[in-house]
Structure 1
Amino acid sequence: MGELVDFFIRSRNFILFVLLEVFCFYFIINTSNYWSVTYFNTSNRYAAQVLAWSNAANEYARLRQVNADLAMENQRLNTQLTQLLQSKPASPREYLADSAFADRFKYTVAKVIDNTTQFANNYITIDKGTDDGIRPGMGVISPTGIVGKVKVCNRHFSVVTSILHSGFLVSSALTKADEIGTARWDGVDPSLIKLNDISLTKTVHKGDSVVTSERNSTFPPGILVGYVRTMGIQPNRVFHDITLNLATNFGSLAFVYVVENRLQAEQEQLEKQVETEK
């Protein structure tokens, strides 16, 4: 307490000067309309700027929660859309998918922890593992298209084999041509992928969409793979040389959806049994 008193005594002249300045400023503003208006306009402008900065900072801080909320909403919509499509497939009117088939796909939201695109074989790490029901072999998609397949898991994390992997093949359908081929990355550009085995008898146009086909048990059919970028003819072969623009932007991948096919094991077991009996 004594030190505080000593400080005021030592600084009394300066403190008196500041108080007089404040009083002068106060009297000028209250006795002059011009300076009063100028003061309030200036203070309001700076207050508005500070408020704008504060709101911008708050909005930025909330982006993570907003993105998480949007991811959960997309998960719900993906589930509903898949159930609708699977319950009303493009097939004869007499065919009706049972409820177990229509409801076989389940989606789990996961956040991307690590992601590579610069190698010949790329992987993605996500923050969901066996405790969340994730297991190897499950498909992974983004809000815009296909991503990859779960390779290994522990309790809290999983590593996903990216579609940007030299050994990753995806059964894909060229929608307008109604032709099924295989999408495979050539290891060059992370925004492009090749579509193989499309017959030259089929007409292909730039911009045609390519989606996952019905002929796989990992991904729901109709998940976007990409759009036709260029077409050519493979040397000494009867197939188109097609390059796609990938639907998923791997450079900005933040949230993904792990897809569980509840009937996958049953389907694969039956198919394996048939193969062994041949």
Structure 2
Amino acid sequence: MSEIPVECQPLAEELTELRRSYALAWESMAQARSADERRQAALEVKAAKDAVDVQQRRLDECRGCLDPAVQTLVDPGGTGATIFCSEPRLVSPDFPQFPLFTEDMGLPVVVSFIIAGCAHDRVVARPGWEGAWDPFPRKSAFTVARRFPDYLTIGRGAPPSVGFTTAPYVVVMSTSGSITVRDGRFERSSGHLDLVVELRVIWSPLFEPPRWLWGFYGLDFGPSTYSGLLTTRTVPKTVTPTMPSGPLNGGSPVDSAGAITLVASGMFSGGFAAGQRFELTVVGHLEGDPR
């Protein structure tokens, strides 16, 4: 208990004992056999949990702990994000878009999470919150050569034509998805923020070959995901070293006004972009005061 002031250590010792009692109460409930025993054990578990919560608050007050704070990262101008991807069938770079959330000041929201811990040094998920995004809003189009002609193809002319065609399929791709913060760390002294996020990209193809031919043409339009860091620190370039320009290879910590830049680089798993590398930069503003 070296991080706990001497005057608060008795409270910390009491909290340790109450947590042991709480664990024992759970064990007793697991061993209960009759309905009456389970009902009584559940009451004891609740009472033990309430005692732990009260004691934790007393210890936090003694230590001068900060209250948990909701943090919402917004993109005020709607143009603060850039993504590069090595998938050649996608428009790259592109500029992800985020929806407006009226509950969070009516601004485009990137992610939302909670800064917790006595010294506001931990990031935890905001219960029930999942961010939405359109990672590649500039629709990509690519062709897929037909391996055999289609029969009774209806053309787009007037009147429509019916017959064989060997023209390639033209696939138009639109996207949607989600961003979720799982956990992370906040360094109050420097303003650096390390978020562990899950990015999910959902691919919605138009005019593609029939679904039953996707495997035949080697197409997979399943979702692609990334789990890893979105951080204000430096990340390695994975896509753009040979390009004339690219996103920042390092973010910038949150300043006194809430301005912040976060970056991520890695590889997508699964779906249309499986195995493809990407770089993401988000320049935004934290609505809240984590420091």
The reply to whether TM is greater than 0.5 is no
More helix by share: 1
Measured against the shorter chain, the TM-score band is under 0.3
Bigger Cα Rg: 1
TM-score, L = length of structure 2: 0.23
TM-score, L = length of structure 1: 0.24
